[in-house]
Amino acid sequence: MAISVEYLAKLKHCSKLNIKQYQENSILNVLLILIAIFSGLVSFSSVASDRVLILNGYVDGLPFPRRVKESMRDQLEQLVPGVVIHSQSLDIYRPKSEDYKQLLVELITNTYQDQIDLVIALDPLAFEFYRDRLASEFDSVPLLFSNDRGKDGELSALEYELLIRPNLLETLRIAKHHYPELKDLYLIGDEYNQNLADENLKDDLGDIEIHHLGGLPLEEMRNRVKSLTRGDLLFF
């Protein structure tokens, strides 16, 4: 493999980053930063054969993973001339059978085994799928992944995480500065993110009331969001 172990050791030392700014494009931005850091530390010795596999857990063609993938392709092509980029959408956020998941394993293994120099997992389910089902087939390939859960689990020798933490408190303070009359804050997210917001904001809310929308049926959630007015604050 073309990647230098010495530089990987340096990346291992500095790979855990705490990103404080978390705005609309933050995931894309910090992943590109990580690629830039990684590319600066990694030595590619055979440009013609360098290959990167990008995995995401979403349905193929969704705007966000497509935008991230395209931006990564542009960034990597600038940093590593001649790099070949492959991508695979796993579609595993919807319930899938074990047979479907095994077919994915066979497809990715048969297509990319011994052909890839770097794997990038864009989201938690893609990382978990790769670690649980594919890592043994790509045992000498480094993995970059975004950790938006903040869990400090044990990493293998070739796993490199980017720790993303939303700065909800700073966002709230900015909103209160511009809208001192702010009274209502709405949260859309899973239980983890709503609990994270509660914990981070509890000492700075004052008279502001938090409304959790993440557990509502989709149509009710849409109606609540449509009813928001100027000065309401929405985290999602």
Write out pLDDT tens, residues 99-137.
Answer: 999 999 999 999 999 999 999 998 888 999 999 999 999
Token look-up 């938006």 returns 148
Q: What is the mean pLDDT of the chain?
A: 78
Q: Which pLDDT score is estimated for 137?
A: 94
Give the pLDDT score at 165. Answer: 64
Answer whether residue 88 shows pLDDT above 90.
yes
Q: Would the pTM count as exceeding 0.95?
A: no
Position 89 scores a pLDDT of: 93
234, β-bridge pairs? 186
Strand-pairing partners, residue 118, are 52
Give the pLDDT mean for 210-220. 88
Would you call 210 helix, strand, or coil by DSSP? strand
The yes-or-no verdict on residue 74 having pLDDT over 80 is yes
78 vs 223, which has greater pLDDT? 223
132, 160 Cβ separation under 8 angstroms: no
Higher pLDDT, 38 or 9: 38
More confident residue, 62 or 145: 145
DSSP tag of 138 = G
Q: Is 162 helix (H, G, I), strand (E, B) or coil?
A: strand
Q: What CATH architecture is 5-164?
A: 3-Layer(aba) Sandwich (3.40)
Least confident of 65-74, 94-103, 148-157, 226-235: 148-157
pLDDT tens digits, residue range 123-178? Answer: 888 999 999 999 999 988 999 887 766 665 678 888 888 766 667 888 888 888 88
Integer angstrom CA distances of residue 107 from 56, 61, 100, 110: 15, 19, 11, 5
Amino acid code (one letter) for 224: R
Quote the CA–CA distance of 186 and 51 in Å, as a whole number: 43
Burial (CB count <10 Å: 0-12, 13-18, 19+), residue 38: buried
The whole-number average pLDDT for the span 208-213 is: 90
Query: Which residue did the predictor score with more confidence, 12 or 111?
Result: 111
Rounded to whole angstroms, the Cα distance separating 76 from 84 reads: 9
For residues 55 and 88, is the Cβ–Cβ distance under 8 A?
Answer: yes
Q: What is the pLDDT of residue 136?
A: 94
Parse the chain into domains and list their residue ranges.
Answer: 5-164, 168-235
pLDDT for residue 152: 56
For the chain, the straight-line distance linking the first and the last C-alpha, in angstroms and rounded, comes to: 41
Q: How confident is the model at residue 37 (pLDDT cuts 50, 70, 90)?
A: low
- Please report the beta strands in the chain, taking only residues with DSSP state E, as ranges in sequence order: 18-19, 51-56, 84-89, 118-121, 143-147, 159-164, 184-187, 209-212, 233-235
Check residue 166 and give its pLDDT.
Answer: 67
